[in-house]
Amino acid sequence: MVAANRCCSCNKRLGLLGFKCRCGSTFCSAHRYPEIHECRSDFKSGGRDAIMKTNPTVRADKLETGQIFIHMLEL
């Protein structure tokens, strides 16, 4: 277990500036990106969930075939 004021990858002392990742660990400026510190957090599913919550599926009511024909004749 690494102390809270040290980078989880290189064990460098952070001081006031530490970058907290979604995986819950703290990293220095060199290891702050998920690709560099081999983050085990799943960003793709989190993004999908956020998009599904903000953009609900909208579906129109279905019309019967007779109603479509009558509507086309009125035009």
Single-letter amino acid code for the residue at 67: Q
Residue 42: burial class (beta carbons within 10 Å; 0-12, 13-18, 19+) = exposed
For the chain, the first-to-last Cα distance in angstroms comes to: 73
Scan for tokens 């599913």, then name that residue. 45
Query: Residues 27, 47: contact at Cβ < 8 Å?
Result: no
For domain 1-48, give the CATH superfamily: AN1-like Zinc finger (4.10.1110.10)
pLDDT in tens, 10-69: 999 988 888 998 888 899 989 888 888 888 877 788 888 888 889 877 777 776 655 666
pTM of the model: 0.55
